[in-house]
Amino acid sequence: MNPARPLYPRPLFRHCPRCAREAGSGDDGRRFVCPHCDFRYYHNVAAAVAAVVVHDGALLITHRAHAPALGTLDLPGGFVDPGEAPQDALARELAEELGWATLPAPLVFHHGAPNHYEYAGVRYATCDLFFRLDPATRPPLAPADDVAHAEWRALDTLEPAAFGMASVREVVSRLRPMPGT
């Protein structure tokens, strides 16, 4: 993330969602408090999950079918629904995006990173949780939902800059083999 750019560059609301009167915003644009009716809203961090699926020196990558970062490379995954455990969210997302009825290998926590997700003019802060899977064989891929295309790419050919999300670029950078290894 770019620390020089504020996460929430403008007020969340110009009018209170409860009383509809014109109102200001909180200190950093993350908090809203209506001076008229005392309605309070906190624009908190959303949890997201992604799969780092590696088989035989290759990473499973997807191509984003929708904004944000339309057309860029990504890892399969998505947002955690209310009341859902991260592992269950990832299993659901893999079923929706790749057609996997069951996971091809156990999920192992890999990495967590802050990120932001801009959608419909709103900038959301996310906490991205990455889980690694090392299947014995390459599972079939049936791209759907948010995935335009899915493929396997050798780890040593990955270009982090081609990935649309900052947290995913960080994970892909960590996966690339060091020169001379």
Question: Which domains are delineated in the chain?
Answer: 10-43 (no CATH), 46-175 (3.90.79.10)
**Which residues, including other chains, have CB under 8 Å from residue 24's CB and lie 6 or more apart?**
11, 35
The burial of 38, by beta-carbon neighbours within 10 Å (0-12 exposed, 13-18 middle, 19 or more buried), is given as exposed
Amino acid symbol at 87: Q
What is the CB neighbour count within 10 angstroms for residue 39? 16
Tell me: the pLDDT tens digits for 5-36? 555 556 677 788 899 998 765 556 677 888 89
The dihedral formed by the CA atoms of 166, 171, 173 and 177, expressed in degrees to the nearest 10: -170
Asked if 150 contacts 129 with a C-beta cutoff of 8 angstroms, the reply is no
Q: What is the pTM of this model?
A: 0.85
Tell me: the pLDDT tens digits for 56-87? 999 999 999 999 999 999 999 999 999 999 99
Q: Which of 53, 32, 68 is nearest to 134 (CA)?
A: 53
The dihedral formed by the CA atoms of 9, 126, 162 and 93, expressed in degrees to the nearest 10: -140
Asked if 48 contacts 113 with a C-beta cutoff of 8 angstroms, the reply is no
Indicate if the pLDDT at residue 1 is higher than 50.
no
Indicate if the pLDDT at residue 176 is higher than 90.
no
